[in-house]
Structure 1
């Protein structure tokens, strides 16, 4: 199913959200969280006293106190782990080391996969005609999952750069691509982040609905995408 809501204009580049757009992110995150918990229980045994909700509560507390953490997933995870370890009685030195080690453990498994061959072939075909970049709110290592030679660059939030739907990463991408906003087509599964973000930045939007590997269809609100598709393979029509 392909729906066109706003007449598309000529494009010269395509930006992609990554998580749940080019792959199903849920099982990947579940595995990374499980491996992190295993690491913590082994090296910092007192963490077995914490349930997952305890860590989430610390995250909510810190994000309320330090709003910048809402836009920096890596710093947020280190901060949460460090605070949790301190509350469990570990020294400042131990807690700070554990926070950094925990982040590295999570990131190792968070990017421990490769994109499917059909998706890689699709991107390779698109690259023959358009410049490709990544604009993601996540922190996957694009080079490890097979995007290193396909994307010109991948942007993630942090260090003062806000998450989508804020225009920050779109503006950086447009500057680096040296193109007007209307010539960038952004592809993503999240209406609130990808569609709204692209539209607010003046870019064109292509909404993958439902998300990669899902069946639940979402309803658009406020901002319509230029185009809506229900399978990433339908991007072949742009080749």
Structure 2
């Protein structure tokens, strides 16, 4: 029945928080060396809170997290009376570290098998990229929130993936960890969804809980094989 399977990235294919913490610490270390006035004024936690406040004040930045981090760094440059010539270098320090992910053990064996039977597409609200994380040979393409200027659960990414793959809703399945962004997002686009519960997360939205729930991708593969 399915021809296209869309996969979320963070917390579906690798743990998100350790990756982000490593990237932010790498950037903070760079700032300590090259822009010590910023580190003198803010702890790493204060910088994180300051960036979150920025996206609350400018919610359009939520759809492009790379742009949000650049704006944040430019604000810090202005606060310290500095030019922003260093911002792109600093962002790249963060961005390259952000791509250093540790895949869950089931990712490569399962996706390598699924690739022989389905079109695989990565959908993400974040700024990880398959070309940087060692998955470009697995996925046919990637779509991010920045590409469509809309983050899940908005259906725009799903619609764009189906259009690009040349399939319809009944031929599409989405796999992700987040009840709102992934499961409700897929529902908003009229497609089936599988909830990956690696962390025994709770269903925290006021919508009916999804029927298909697995703790790893091996279970997903078994279900797909039995259903085909």
Are the equivalent residues in 2 in contact too, given 1:13–1:131 (CA < 8 A)? yes
Q: CA distance change for structure 1 residues 115 and 159 in 2, over 3 Å: closer, same or farther?
A: closer
1:10-49 residue pairs with structure 2 within 5 A? 10-48=1-39, 49=41
Mapped to 2, the partners of 1:226 and 1:164 lie a distance apart of: 20
Secondary structure of the residue aligned to 1:143 is coil
Question: For each residue in 1:58-101, what CA deviation from the matched residue of structure 2 results, as whole angstroms up to 9, or x when unmatched?
Answer: 324432443210111000000011101211221xxx2x223222
Secondary structure of the residue aligned to 1:158 is helix
- Residue equivalent to 1:219: 203
Are the equivalent residues in 2 in contact too, given 1:115–1:146 (CA < 8 A)? no
- Residue equivalent to 2:215: 230
- Residue equivalent to 1:162: 150
- Residue equivalent to 1:89: 81
The Cα shift of 1:225 comes to: 2.4
- 1:207 maps onto 2:186 in alignment: no
- Residue equivalent to 2:51: 59
The Cα shift of 1:14 comes to: 0.5
Question: For each residue in 1:22-78, what CA deviation from the matched residue of structure 2 results, as whole angstroms up to 9, or x when unmatched?
Answer: 111221111111000001111111011212343244324432443210111000000
Mapped to 1, the partners of 2:102 and 2:181 lie a distance apart of: 24
- 1:134 maps onto 2:128 in alignment: no
- Residue equivalent to 1:124: 112
Q: CA distance change for structure 1 residues 132 and 83 in 2, over 3 Å: closer, same or farther?
A: same
Question: For each residue in 1:156-196, what CA deviation from the matched residue of structure 2 results, as whole angstroms up to 9, or x when unmatched?
Answer: 11255211001111111011011111211100000010001
Mapped to 2, the partners of 1:145 and 1:114 lie a distance apart of: 9
Which stretches in structure 1 are left out of the alignment for 5+ residues? 1-9
Which stretches in structure 2 are left out of the alignment for 5+ residues? none
State how many pairs are aligned: 222
Secondary structure of the residue aligned to 1:129 is coil
The Cα shift of 1:226 comes to: 4.3
Q: CA distance change for structure 1 residues 223 and 88 in 2, over 3 Å: closer, same or farther?
A: farther
The Cα shift of 1:114 comes to: 5.5
Are the equivalent residues in 1 in contact too, given 2:106–2:217 (CA < 8 A)? no
Are the equivalent residues in 1 in contact too, given 2:196–2:213 (CA < 8 A)? yes
Are the equivalent residues in 2 in contact too, given 1:174–1:180 (CA < 8 A)? yes
With CA pairs under 8 Å and 6+ residues apart, which has the higher RCO, 1 or 2? 1
